[in-house]
Structure 1
Amino acid sequence: MSAPQTPAGRKPRPPVAGRPRTGSRVAAIQALFQSEQSGEAAEAVIDQFVRYRIGPDAGGFEDGRVPLADVPLFASVVRGVARQPDGLDEIVQGHLAGEWTVARLDPVLRALLRAAAYELSSGTEPPARVVINEYMDIAHGFFSGEEPRFANGVLDAMARALRPTEFQR
């Protein structure tokens, strides 16, 4: 078993205390990053996270851990992205401007957008605006440059395309 990886030295600022669903999404992004970088199967990475990186005994954010997370949501997002990577990349790609490609995106941003695309395309709960807000909070935790603004534009466009009825007046 390989050691869990943290996205390129980027440790997210902790989500607001008491938000296990946000913690789940942070852990999912980290797990998707690790799976992509190491080539490990999603199930192996999920197992590593559940054993060593999620839960009150896992340590803190400064160690790349997520002490508060809803494990079923975490596993659902990671499995969902792993089951349909090409379809989710098509969704993301369809909302990138100009010559941007999914492959060209920062790997953490790519994981974030894939996870959001999965959630937005797999049902109507939570509401699209909640999904956008959650992933924007996480983007601000991982990035301090233009990436959150970029992510906001892509997330908004994906949500409007995938759940248009939620944006009708």
Structure 2
Amino acid sequence: MSLPTQPRGRPRTGARVAAVQALFQAEASGDSPETVLDQFIRHRLGQMPGQGGFEDGRVPEADVALFAGIVRRAATRSDDLDAIITAHLAEAWPLAKLDPVLRALLRAATAELRDGREPPAKVIIREYLDIAHGFFTAEEPRFAAGVLDALARSLRPGDFPA
């Protein structure tokens, strides 16, 4: 898994990047989401003197409360979120067939879109597309854009006036 570059001064973006990484790690390692949350909060979030930055697997600027909220919502409602995501995928592309980082990204975004009203859906889509472009260089960001747009229109129709 390559690491995207993060613009300075964007703690909400940092939280979302870390949430995607944590959800990926929990799935790949089989560790509980709470264990991964603890690991991230202790060892990967925030500035540490003498430690590397984002390029070394750290997320120096991250809104920890937002990060923890996204991961917890995605983990505790994973079956519901997966059903919502699956309903927006083509039959030829089941959730299990997707790249695990893309799966984590869609789960994090769906948790935010489903369980909140702020920020607006278009902001969430833009943030997760920026993250997708950081992780992927092929067709995945375009795929994510289509799925995220459909999810947002379904979960937050009021954010998309006719």
Report what 1:145 is aligned to: 138
Aligned counterpart, 1:49: 40
Q: Which residue of 1 aligns with 2:8?
A: 17
Q: How many corresponding residue pairs?
A: 160
TM-score (ref. length: structure 1):
0.92
Q: Give me the whole-angstrom Cα distance separating, in 2, the residues matched to 1:36 and 1:123.
A: 24
Q: Which runs of 4+ in 1 moved over 2 A?
A: none
Q: Percent identity?
A: 63
Aligned to 1:66: 59
| TM-score, normalised relative to structure 2 | 0.96
Matches within 5 A, 1:73-92: 73-92=66-85
Which structure 1 residue ranges, 5 or more long, are not aligned? 1-7
RMSD value over aligned CA atoms?
0.9
The one of 147, 156, 161 aligned to 1:163: 156
Shift of residue 98, structure 1, vs aligned partner:
3.3
Q: Is the 8 A contact 1:15 1:137 kept in 2?
A: no
Tell me the secondary structure at the aligned position of residue 142 of structure 2: helix
| 1:59–1:66 Cα contact (<8 Å) kept | no
Pairs within 5 Å for 1:80-159: 80-159=73-152
Q: Match for 1:29: what amino acid?
A: V
Pairwise CA distance, 1:17: 1.1
